[in-house]
Amino acid sequence: MIELRLQQLEDNIKQDLELLHGYEDALRYASDPRTIAKYRREIERQREAWARYQLEYNELQKKVIDNPLIQTGTAAELLQQVNTTLDQMDAKLDSLQEGQASILNELGEMRQAVLARFDTSEQKIIASAVEKLSQEQLSDVQIILDHIEANRAQEEKLTEALNDIQQALSEIEKQTMNSASLQLANDVRNLSKVFDDPKLDYAHKLKVSVPIIPLILSYEGEIGLGSALNLKNAWNRLRRK
């Protein structure tokens, strides 16, 4: 009976260890914060599973130690195997959690760098959007902001991009958002106030819009944006610049 439980425990740990290897491979290429957060939750669940496995192992180990008849042989060998596999799972969890911390630290630094380019009132408008951007998106935003701030964008191109953005904002404001998109709707309302400010020039309006565009595009499937193609084209034009 103990041998069977040990074998089942060993099999369960190995299955979860395979899952962790899969998470490691997926995280190597993940950049979207929502994807990273999903894997972080999965890793936390696996840490809880490891704790349960450890408790079961301790219970079975005590039974083996307390029974001289099974201290040698298959049960003892299985006990050692389970202990080794538990250690492997523990090490993999530590490695993944350290990697997650490193990714989150880097993302945090990039987000702060983007926010630092805006004044306090503008930071309030874009902060929630910046928090959801991936590493790749944050990099794109920084490069586009460099381009705008260096006055390398032609006014005609600025106007074209702003028209596409404003059309998308207008569509979103008319929609009834689900709970997952309420923050986006709030960001859009605040950004629309910037567009309506006659004191701001085209370049400044576009600058404040830039961090929110990739977020809008990431929600496009959920909110059914009719102008998504125009907005996507505007974003790609800015990236190519």
Residue 87: per-residue pLDDT: 94
Same domain? 138 vs 213:
yes
Range 78-89 average pLDDT: 93
Indicate the residue among 112, 133, 148 that finishes a domain: 112
Say how far apart CA 26 and CA 36 lie, in whole Å.
9
Q: What is the pLDDT of residues 186-227, one digit of tens each?
A: 777 778 888 777 887 878 888 888 888 887 777 766 666 665
Contacts of residue 62, Cβ cutoff 8 Å, sequence gap at least 6? none
- In degrees and rounded to multiples of 5, residue 185 shows phi and psi of -60, -40
Three-point CA angle 118, 120, 123, nearest 5°: 60
Same domain? 213 vs 180:
yes
Same domain? 107 vs 124:
no
Structural domain total, the chain: 2
Same domain? 124 vs 229:
yes
Indicate the residue among 112, 145, 176 that finishes a domain: 112
Same domain? 205 vs 235:
yes
Q: What is the pLDDT of residues 144-167, one digit of tens each?
A: 888 888 776 566 667 777 787 877
Indicate the residue among 80, 112, 144 that finishes a domain: 112
Same domain? 106 vs 186:
no
- What's the domain range around 236? 120-240
- The count of C-alpha atoms lying within 13 angstroms of the C-alpha of 59, restricted to the half-sphere facing its C-beta, is 11
Residue 200: per-residue pLDDT: 79
* pLDDT surpassing 80 at residue 19: yes
Do 184 and 172 form a contact (C-beta atoms < 8 A)?
yes
Nearest in space to 203 (alpha carbons), one of 116, 117, 132, 135: 117
